[in-house]
């Protein structure tokens, strides 16, 4: 006897294909932005004060995501410009990331009286 009478008929299912590493990288960047916005809004609701001077810090997740994307594209063979362009773009992203952290962290601390 057929024990599967109450189950729906077999449908053609596409096989599971995980997201590419680049898509996962940008998903993590989006999660970081959501957490930052959540913390900023929670701080605003708790203190009725807006934190100022956070522009440089808000660029940091995007710069990190761009650097990781550059390396991933090079490793997968889809990068234009070869190794030199990959190194140049990654170095520029890391340099800008460090500059933004250097400028942004003291600006953030000034909001708390530091």
**Residue boundaries of the structural domains of the chain:** 21-110
Cα gap 78→46, rounded to integer Å: 47
Give percent above pLDDT 90 in the chain: 77
Confidence of residue 10 (pLDDT cuts 50, 70, 90): low
Give percent above pLDDT 70 in the chain: 89
Mean pLDDT across 69-90: 92
pTM: 0.82
């Amino acid at each position: 006897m057929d024990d599967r009478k109450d189950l729906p008929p077999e449908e053609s299912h596409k096989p599971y294909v995980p997201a590419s590493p680049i898509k996962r990288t940008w998903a993590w960047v989006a999660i970081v932005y959501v957490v930052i916005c959540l913390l900023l809004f929670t701080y605003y609701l708790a203190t009725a004060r807006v934190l100022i001077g956070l522009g440089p810090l808000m660029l940091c997740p995007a710069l990190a995501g761009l650097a990781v994307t550059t390396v991933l594209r090079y490793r997968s063979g889809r990068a234009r410009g070869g190794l030199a362009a990959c190194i140049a773009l990654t170095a520029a992203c890391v340099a800008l990331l460090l500059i933004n952290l250097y400028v942004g962290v003291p600006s953030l601390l000034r909001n708390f009286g530091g």
